[in-house]
Amino acid sequence: MAENLSESVPVFTDSPLKKRYRTAESFVDFGPEQKFPSRPVENTITVSDLKLWYGPVQALKGITLNIPKNCVYSFIGPSGCGKSTFLRTLNRMNDMVPNCKIDGEVIVDGANIYDKDVDVVDLRKRVGMVFQKANPFPMSIFENVAYGPRIHGVPKKDLPGIVEHALKRAALWDEVKDRLKSSALSLSGGQQQRLCIARTLAVDPEIILFDEPCSALDPISTGKIEELMMELKSDYTIIVVTHNMQQAARISDYTAFFLSGDLVEAGETIHMFENPKDTRTEEYITGRFG
């Protein structure tokens, strides 16, 4: 541990809802609207001894983690630590990587998603993903959101209602309702990212994976995405990879810290930032490395 912890670890003032972190970015203010975890007993995802290799290189080293329902769960750690790799195991995106070998279990809805009889298309419908860079299709705003329901066989007459609902849930409807036939590529970067969230919501997932969704966005757009994720957790389980410690502190109910393919520590965010159990966690959170 550092000799002078008073200058490096979280300092809590006034009340547990308002906290100042003495880190590179000064402070994080939690308003009274933030809800802390209620310790849900039912898990959305249960991961047991998960290992992953890219060819001869082992990228994940026996990860065991329970992710509760209806929370925001952040994965933090330095570049190359395995957090994005682990995120992609949760909906089998790593299946597309040559020479990728996976061992262990990922239980979703009581079944191991790596069993041979699992329908991967259905899995990715239930476990949606929003990527680091917004990737709207080169078609209209409406067709971007309608694309998923359409290929899953939703009748044409139902699509307008689904599109409107998804855009409203993604906090984008009021900005685009009068130009649904316009190209999605005409939207700003932040709008494009919210469009991709709406596209994910349109197929009615249970879990949404976010891989650094704000890394290319300005602070205003980042704030909108963060607010949206906190709103969505009432109906979905939200799992986020982020390099931003302040973002993890602001939005997360739970946080997991990865390092060199290992899961070092996981738990409620407020406890991890206030009193991390592992010295490496404390050093990373306070900016000593990474």
Instruction: Give the pLDDT of residue 12.
Output: 33
Domain assignment of residue 121, yes or no = yes
Instruction: Give the pLDDT of residue 120.
Output: 93
Half-sphere exposure at residue 38, Cβ-oriented, CA atoms within 13 angstroms: 8
Q: Check pLDDT > 50 for residue 17.
A: no
Instruction: Give the pLDDT of residue 264.
Output: 96
Instruction: Give the pLDDT of residue 249.
Output: 94
Domain assignment of residue 122, yes or no = yes
Instruction: Give the pLDDT of residue 290.
Output: 60
Domain assignment of residue 290, yes or no = no
Instruction: Give the pLDDT of residue 142.
Output: 98
Domain assignment of residue 190, yes or no = yes
Domain assignment of residue 203, yes or no = yes
Residue 179: give the domain boundaries.
Answer: 5-285
Rg (CA), the chain: 19
Domain assignment of residue 171, yes or no = yes
Half-sphere exposure at residue 25, Cβ-oriented, CA atoms within 13 angstroms: 11
Instruction: Give the pLDDT of residue 1.
Output: 40
Crossing angle (nearest 10°) for helices 219-232 and 189-201:
20
Among 205, 136, 207, which Cα is nearest to 172's?
A: 136
Provide the CATH number for the domain around residue 68.
Answer: 3.40.50.300
Instruction: Give the pLDDT of residue 216.
Output: 82
Instruction: Calculate the alpha carbon distances from 270 to 24, 73, 134 in Å.
Output: 18, 12, 30
User: Residue range 248-253: average pLDDT?
Assistant: 95
Share of the chain above pLDDT 90, in %: 79
Q: Check pLDDT > 80 for residue 24.
A: no
User: Residue range 247-265: average pLDDT?
Assistant: 96
Q: Check pLDDT > 80 for residue 112.
A: yes
Instruction: Calculate the alpha carbon distances from 105 to 2, 58, 90 in Å.
Output: 37, 17, 10
Express each pLDDT in 31-57 by its tens digit: 434 444 444 447 789 999 999 999 999
pLDDT averaged over every residue in the chain: 86
User: Residue range 194-223: average pLDDT?
Assistant: 94
For residue 138, what pLDDT band results from cuts at 50, 70 and 90? very high
Domain assignment of residue 237, yes or no = yes
Instruction: Give the pLDDT of residue 44.
Output: 85
| Count: domains in the chain | 1
Q: Check pLDDT > 60 for residue 241.
A: yes
Q: Give me the sign of the Cα torsion angle 190, 194, 195, 199.
A: positive
Domain assignment of residue 235, yes or no = yes
Among 249, 252, 277, 275, which Cα is nearest to 264's?
A: 277
Cβ atoms < 10 Å from Cβ of 286 = 21
Express each pLDDT in 166-176 by its tens digit: 999 999 999 99
Q: Check pLDDT > 50 for residue 181.
A: yes
User: Residue range 222-230: average pLDDT?
Assistant: 93
Q: Which two structure tokens, joined as six digits, stand for 256? A: 């997991």
